Amino acid sequence: MMRLPRFSAGLWFAAAIFISAFLVFQVQPIISKTILPWFGGSPGVWTTCMLFFQLLLFAGYSYAHVLTKFMSQRSQGAVHFALLLFALFVLPMTPTADWKPLGGEDPTLSILLILLANVGLPYFLLSSTGPLLQAWFAKRVRDGSPYRLYALSNVGSLAALISYPFLVEPALTTSSQGQVWSLVFCLFATVCGYLAASQFRWAPTECDAINRVDATVSTSHPTWKHYLTWLALPAFASMLLLATTNHVCQDIAVIPFLWIVPLSLYLLTFIICFDREAWYSRRWCAGAGILSLLVIHGAAFTTSSWSMPVQLLAYFAAMFFTCMVCHGELVRNKPASQYLTAFYLMSSAGGAIGGLTIGLVCPWLFSTYLEMQICMLAAAVIMTGVFLVDAQATWLGDSPSRRVIGVLGYCFVFIVVGFVEFGDRDNGVVRSTRNFYGVLQVTESPWGTNLVHGRILHGFQFRHPAFQKLPTTYYGEEAGVGLALTHLREGKPKRVGAVGLGVGTVATYGKPGDYFRFYEINPTVLEIANNDFSYLKDSAAETEVVLGDARISMERESSQQFDVLVLDAFSGDSIPTHLLTKEAFDVYLRHLKSDGVIAVHISNKHVNLEPVIRRLGAELHLPCSIVASPDRLPQCMRAKWVLMSKTDTFLASDTIRENSRRLETTSEFPLWTDQYNNIVQLLRIY
């Protein structure tokens, strides 16, 4: 019989589980970043990837459960060893350019197919590692707790998640990240394959003896209530995680990669609860969660406006303590080791249900992020209920008066949260629509009509007919784009390209004989621009809108010979970095006339894109001038545009020199390419 060294039996299992968890949470950002440019840099890519990985996690846990329940120890090892060997032939895991969408496909389905074909089998095996090896560990190491290995796996997940944006991404190109990941997977396959081989050669008599011992110490078979608890608690925690991520990234702080914080906190609750049951206190966790909810919703009754960091802290605290309660109660109901795989199977099913609910069902049912409001109310019910259960068992007791106080407190929390979340609030919304790319709202203000995405204004048009053709928001005549469209080739017909449609404001600069070609990835934006605004239909120029990712569309087109190319896709909640790489600018320059101008809109509250443009200017030998236009409310907002040209003729003209400053190019900042770009270093922290 093959035996592991006695001093390191537990170490082998710990190493395999830690490496697998690390790889699981490293592959997610690596492949997500690889395919992110193919789908316009939308935050929906992250949500869809998370949905895929939750579904495959469930598949891996199902495989582990079936393997350990219906196969002998030898068969388990043989099957798993064969799959590990086969997975090595799938590497490397990064998809090639052949997988790029052609345009018009359903983005969710396309992403799921890409992920399934390129990382499906390796991720499936990595997902099954936790429950499968814990089941083997429970039979091999009789004095060890397999549930502590689950806490260790979450430590590995957290380490991978935190290290990626701060260590891995700045140091390695995307292709190098995939290669290194594949090499580490080979290491994992070696360690896990050795463990699988040891199971294959395990003597049946010893296995049977251990199973008989397990049978003598086992508890009663779990009831349907146990299975429902194992399913419902992780499902709600997963829903709250995704709903909170969507809410804070869209409505509080449109900061890229903010999704890392709630996911890290979510994993931390697993680590704390599964490492040691004593870490979880019903009274303190539920009490702190209730307090966080009251802080969030109590702000609605005050006249002061809370700062963004305070709001983030309150929402993250509420999510953390609610997940602590869900996972703490999950651990309190965990079964004996012979039911371990069933326990993890139901837990993963709950996580998958939560992901499906937020990722697919809610976008289909709701036109806003209503799931966050529902989750907040459900969190109030759960945490107040758990707090009262603990109170009745300890300090509240059976006193009728104290019970009345408890019920009144329960009702108070429920009413406050319910009133704030579902109370009637007239915010001027006349239309709200939601799809893969987020929630778009058309609102009415005293002056006119607005298009809002999250907290970002993407366009405004005056209601009065006399002012409807005025350029507004970031596109006034003093702005860089206004100067370029007004003064370049004055009196002559112009060909203008625009990456990002918005409400079509730049089309108001069109004159008879001009041609304006817009590139827009979100079909709903085009619908709103045509139905709720009139810039496109009132333009004197010929206008055309190309649906699909701008870069992919331009790569496939013959040269358009634009006089002006407007890049206006960087003021929103997610920066499409693939539109700011050297390879992207090579495409733009192919479509630009020899004396043409590229106008780049870099107004963004949270990201400073100026270093990227300066570096591109130095690399491509493009003179650059920056135009910072002031507020002219209610018509125009403060805007920052960079004008770039192959020649210095237009930028050196009196009009541009008087309204801009020359932007010195530099080679000190890292050049953004398709293989390397790191937006974290550009975040404005305040």
Per-residue pLDDT, 425: 57
Q: Which CATH number applies to 475-682: 3.40.50.150, 3.40.50.2000, 3.40.50.10310, 3.40.50.11540?
A: 3.40.50.150
Q: Where are the domains of the chain?
A: 13-204, 226-253+260-265+282-347+359-425, 475-682
Strand partners, 645: 597
Q: Which CATH number applies to 13-204: 1.10.287, 1.10.8, 1.20.1250, 3.40.50?
A: 1.20.1250
Per-residue pLDDT, 428: 74
In Å, what is the CA distance from 372 to each residue of 305, 375, 378, 573?
Answer: 20, 5, 10, 18
Per-residue pLDDT, 206: 45
Per-residue pLDDT, 491: 80
C-alpha 682/C-alpha 617 separation (Å) is: 17
Per-residue pLDDT, 545: 94
Collapsing DSSP to helix, strand or coil, 157 comes out as helix
Which residues are within 8 A (CB) of 157 and not within 5 positions of it... i.e. 6 or more apart?
A: 21, 22, 24, 25, 267
Per-residue pLDDT, 670: 87
Distance separating the N- and C-terminal Cα atoms of the chain: 61
Number of Cβ within 10 Å of residue 127's Cβ equals: 26
Which residues are within 8 A (CB) of 658 and not within 5 positions of it... i.e. 6 or more apart?
A: none
The closest alpha carbon to 632, from 436, 478, 406, belongs to 478
Per-residue pLDDT, 543: 94
Q: Spell out, as residue ranges, where the chain has pLDDT lower than 70.
A: 1-9, 37, 40-44, 102-105, 140-148, 150, 200-220, 249-259, 275, 298-308, 337, 391-427, 454-455, 571-575, 680, 683-686
- pLDDT (tens digit, 9 = 90+) per residue, 394-406? 665 566 665 566 5
DSSP string for residues in 471-516: --BTTSTTSHHHHHHHHTTTTS--EEEEE--TT-GGGGG--TT-EE
pTM of the model: 0.71
Per-residue pLDDT, 104: 60
Which residues are within 8 A (CB) of 147 and not within 5 positions of it... i.e. 6 or more apart?
A: 134, 274, 331, 334
Per-residue pLDDT, 14: 83
Q: Are 240 and 293 in contact (CB under 8 A)?
A: no
Same fold, 13-204 and 475-682: no
Per-residue pLDDT, 254: 46
Per-residue pLDDT, 167: 83
Per-residue pLDDT, 60: 87
Per-residue pLDDT, 203: 45
C-alpha 271/C-alpha 286 separation (Å) is: 18
C-alpha 141/C-alpha 6 separation (Å) is: 10
